[in-house]
Structure 1
Amino acid sequence: MSDGAGTLAARLAAVRGSIAAACREAGRDPAEVTLLPVSKTFGEDVIREAVGLGLRRFGENKVQEIQAKAAGLADERLDWVVIGHLQTNKAKAVAKLAAEVQSLDRLDLAVALDKALQAQGRAIDVLVQVKTSREESKFGLVPEALPGFLDELKAFPSLRLRGLMTLAEASPDDAVVRACFRTLYRLRDRARDAGHPADRLSMGMSGDFALAIAEGSTEVRIGSAIFGARSYKPV
């Protein structure tokens, strides 16, 4: 599928090249950084094209989009990753369909997810979302609450803690954006020092992933740079 910016294959190759270049600039091995394609608002045909390019794992903001796409793409056996703010009433759907949740940010959600997952006989990977920006529109656990929350997560066997996630402040000042990422990096190190299995750092999107990589990101969430401009029409 092509558009004015070229084919999906060309955009994916360009993103991978940019990730590798950012890693080299930061003195890091590109193998240390995973790409999570974010397919929100794009339909089954586009995702099938992406699968043909070797992608099997897709990030989505809304559970209802995962439900719609998973039904039509069941034959592909894809891994769906929830990256958007999650309401507790979506826990049952997540327990059935998602391979991972990167936006775990409060205790009542952990309770709901664990209950639903145990009913399904499943366990999934989770990242704790931390609010590192000053923007009221951003979700996430406040940094000061993270240590206690990580301790509480030990009570939920179906939630396998793997790391932390954040969204940086939408700022034209690179120093402000980097500070958000640096905060999460330091929080991750403290969590590991406290014995928590929190190796992963999901931070960086299409507009700021090079800065995130420079600050230690292990996974970047890329949507429009791969799939093109979004129309925000229902799937």
Structure 2
Amino acid sequence: MTDRRTELADNLARVEERISTACAKAGRKREEVTLIVVTKTYPASDVRLLAELGVRHVAENRDQDAAPKAAQCSDLPLIWHFVGQLQTNKVRSVVNYADVVQSVDRPKLVTALSKEAVRAGRELGCLIQVALDAEPGDGRGETGDRGGTAPAGVAALADTIANAEGLRLDGLMTVAPLAGPYAGRQRAAFERLMEISSGLRANHPAANIVSAGMSADLDEAVAAGATHVRVGTAVLGVRPQLG
């Protein structure tokens, strides 16, 4: 366990240096960027070590893995983010432990989240997942290959969340697209997300979170203006194969 703690501490230090360097280059303060460690496929023991090392934000993408892990770590001062595509039949479980759902992409999901948040007596933070491979005219429809809603649908979905009981509209999230005009152009994709965020904040000024960037492209996300980066492999190592 000591070796694993040292490994995680070293990895966190390297990620911290990357974020600090990217902030300095962009003329930003380090405290403007929140690190979320994506702990999917890794055990609760790693989450505990991360908490000991000062991590406060962790993320999961599969409820069947996240629910028991969150329960085992319920004594820790952590903020849990759900970042995977979320089916409505998993919403009740997710609302029990998640503080923020970053993958809100359709009105039906908003309705389900609102119902369960009210039932649980909780206020749930919501980020709209934006599919940058579903821009107008690219022939890909209203949703992207990796989930999310098209940029043209953000304003209406934001209003739906803002008016839903038990939910709080916190901002936007994206995953660098694998197809479409932004494929292989992470910096441009994140800059496009910042433009969409600016439009969103005109009507919802408190919705100022921009979650973008992962292990491979967090530097570009910070340069573009992201407020939160989601880092898994760079902290925890190459993921074990899922069975």
Alignment-derived partner of residue 146 in structure 1? 154
How far the C-alpha of 1:175 sits from its partner, in A, is 6.8
What stretches of structure 1 move > 6 A for 4+ residues in a row? Answer: none
Q: Counterparts in 2 of 1:84-163, with a 5 A limit?
A: 84-133=84-133, 136-163=144-171
3-state SS, counterpart of residue 110 of structure 1: helix
3-state SS, counterpart of residue 201 of structure 1: strand
How far the C-alpha of 1:167 sits from its partner, in A, is 0.5
Report the Cα distance in structure 2 between the residues aligned to 1:26 and 1:170, rounded to whole angstroms: 25
How far the C-alpha of 1:169 sits from its partner, in A, is 2.2
Q: Identity of paired residues, percent?
A: 37
How far the C-alpha of 1:174 sits from its partner, in A, is 8.9
Q: TM-score, normalised by structure 1?
A: 0.92
Alignment-derived partner of residue 184 in structure 1? 193
How far the C-alpha of 1:233 sits from its partner, in A, is 3.8
Larger RCO of the pair (alpha carbons < 8 Å, separation 6+): 1
Alignment-derived partner of residue 27 in structure 1? 27
- Sort the Cα spacing of 1:21 and 1:158 in 2 relative to 1 into closer, same or farther, 3 A: same
| 8 Å CA contact 1:58, 1:80 repeated in 2 | yes
How far the C-alpha of 1:170 sits from its partner, in A, is 4.1
| 8 Å CA contact 1:203, 1:221 repeated in 2 | yes
Report the Cα distance in structure 1 between the residues aligned to 2:80 and 2:234, rounded to whole angstroms: 19
Q: Which residue of 196, 218, 237 maps to 1:228?
A: 237
Equivalent pairs counted in the alignment come to 231
| 8 Å CA contact 2:61, 2:84 repeated in 1 | yes
Report the Cα distance in structure 1 between the residues aligned to 2:29 and 2:79, rounded to whole angstroms: 25
- Sort the Cα spacing of 1:117 and 1:174 in 2 relative to 1 into closer, same or farther, 3 A: closer
Q: Counterparts in 2 of 1:38-57, with a 5 A limit?
A: 38-57=38-57
Between stretches 176-185 and 83-92, larger displacement belongs to: 176-185
| 8 Å CA contact 1:133, 1:180 repeated in 2 | no
Q: Which residue of 165, 170, 173 maps to 2:173?
A: 165
Consecutive unaligned residues of structure 1, counting only runs of 5 or more, are none
Between stretches 223-232 and 144-153, larger displacement belongs to: 144-153
RMSD: 2.0
Consecutive unaligned residues of structure 2, counting only runs of 5 or more, are 135-139
How far the C-alpha of 1:78 sits from its partner, in A, is 3.0
Q: TM-score, normalised by structure 2?
A: 0.89
